[in-house]
Amino acid sequence: MAHQIGIVGGDGIGPEVIAQGLKVIDAAGVELNAVHYDLGGNRYARDGLVLTDEIVDEWRGLDAIYLGAVGTPDVPPGLIERGLLLKMRFDLDLYINLRPFSCGPDTANSSTVFGPDAEFDFVVIRENTEGAYAGEGGFLRKHTAHEIATQGSVNTHIGVQRCVHFAFELAMERRKHVTLVHKTNVLNFAGDLWERTFNTVAEEFPQVTTTYNHVDAACIYFVDDPFRYDVIVTDNLFGDILTDLGGAVSGGIGFAASANIHPGMVSMFEPVHGSAPDIAGSGKANPTAAILSGALMLDHLGEHQAAERIRAACSNPETLKGSTKEIGDMIAARL
């Protein structure tokens, strides 16, 4: 049966790379029933629409959303991010942000730091609905010399527990190791809740070994020794920063895929990169990140075999050179 998918190509290179992703999914033999949504900076410039509650309600009935990139240089910064991407995360409660980082001869990436022969394979699970991004805080005496701005970090027991639980479940399918990354020595309230919750969940998974890293130490290990990691779990802000670092050490922006997941419910899959207006329309965009995000979507849909075949088809990136469409065609042809 065809999967019901919402497509948001978006702006700039977004529609270009999503077209390649859809072509590759089709070549892998997976049938999608796709509904296209015209959203993003261009749509906002045309009639002011960013994202309505009615569209979000429609999405609740879908299996997944496949998104290219949204944002144009002429739209005020933050408007599309908050009004579309964050609204989507919060309204659909996409509490897991999953970003895989793998490098080596059999993957799509070769490490920018360790060279083509280095092999590592880890996944960052970032809490996606709470922390410093929950919007808690405000101004006092704004625009005066005595202005105060506060930005709280919201950490609920349920929110942390469900995220940590997901990380342990994932580790059970992998090499059975989970690292908690936080800053417990300084963030003594939020860090304490994360650490206690992590330790309690760990008791349910006696086969899984665990480690704790302070976030500053994790930054060093990402560049120095990423081989040590299997699954990393961390909060929203640390995860945002660490995953960009992960992308930088493992092949660059053209290869970084991501998933925004609510297990068992409609979830959203997108490349990490933005709309790249500087190269839009030039055929220079690498579609691999979007194609690998499509593979994550197939995992979510239970199409694991097709997802694995797509990942394998993206390997040996040095043999995948050309325009956006040519790279998409080569990957599709390998299937």
9 near ligand ATP (CB under 6 A): no
Written as one letter, the residue type at 89 is R
Of 83 and 274, which CB lies nearer to ligand ATP in the complex structure? 274
Catalytic residue flag (residue 216):
yes
- Select 71 or 191, whichever has its Cβ closest to ligand ATP: 71
Q: Which is nearer to ligand ATP, 43 or 273 (CB)?
A: 273
Q: Are 94 and 268 in contact (CB under 8 A)?
A: yes
Q: Does 253 bind ligand ATP (CB under 6 A)?
A: yes
For residue 286, state whether it binds ligand ATP (rule: CB under 6 A). yes
Cα-Cα-Cα-Cα dihedral sign, residues 299, 303, 305, 311:
negative
Q: Which one of 216, 224, 225, 278 is the catalytic residue? A: 216
Indicate which single residue of 196, 278, 305, 321 sits in contact with ligand ATP (rule: CB under 6 A). 278
Residue 44 designated active-site: no
84 binds ligand ATP (CB under 6 A): no
Q: Nearest residue by C-beta to ligand ATP?
A: 274
Nearest to 85 by CA among 61, 65, 63: 65
Nearer to ligand ATP, 15 or 254 (CB): 254
Which DSSP category does 253 fall into?
G
Interface size with ligand ATP, residues (CB under 6 A): 13
Q: List the alpha helices (DSSP H) in 8-131.
A: 14-27, 41-47, 53-60, 79-80, 87-91
Of 87 and 182, which has the nearer Cβ to ligand ATP?
A: 87
Instruction: Count the helices and strands in the chain (H runs, E runs).
Output: 12, 12
Binding mask 11-50 for ligand ATP (x = CB under 6 A): --x-------------------------------------
| Shortest distance in whole angstroms from residue 13 CB to ligand ATP | 6
Exposed, middle or buried: residue 176 (CB in 10 Å: 0-12, 13-18, 19+)? middle
- The verdict on 71 binding ligand ATP (CB under 6 A) reads yes
To the query of whether residue 133 is one of the catalytic residues in this protein, the response is yes
CB of 107 to ligand ATP, least distance (A): 17
Note whether 245 binds ligand ATP by CB under 6 A.
no
Q: Which stretch binds ligand ATP (CB under 6 A): 19-27, 42-50, 53-61, 271-279?
A: 271-279
**Both tokens assigned to 110:** 């070769």
Binding span for ligand ATP by CB under 6 A among 25-33, 139-147, 260-268, 281-289? 281-289
Calpha distance 137→185 (Å, rounded) = 23
Task: Residue 82: name the closest of 154, 42, 133 by CA.
Answer: 133
Nearest partner of 28 among 255, 322, 309, judged by Cα = 309
Token reading at 30? 């997976």
Closest to ligand ATP by CB, 118 or 253: 253
Name the residue with tokens 């659909």.
92
Shortest distance, CB of residue 229 to ligand ATP, whole angstroms?
Answer: 24
Residue among 91, 240, 299, 329 flagged as catalytic: 240
| 240 in active site | yes
Q: Which residues contact 5 (CB under 8 A, 6 or more apart)?
A: 32, 33, 34, 35, 62, 63, 64, 65, 66, 297
Which structure tokens are listed for 324?
A: 């956006």
CB 261 within 8 A of CB 65: no
**Annotated catalytic, 142?**
no
Left (φ > 0), alpha (ψ -120 to 50) or beta: where does 97 sit? beta
Binding site for ligand ATP (CB under 6 A): 13, 71, 253-254, 273-276, 278-279, 285-286, 289
Catalytic residues: 133, 183, 216, 240, 244
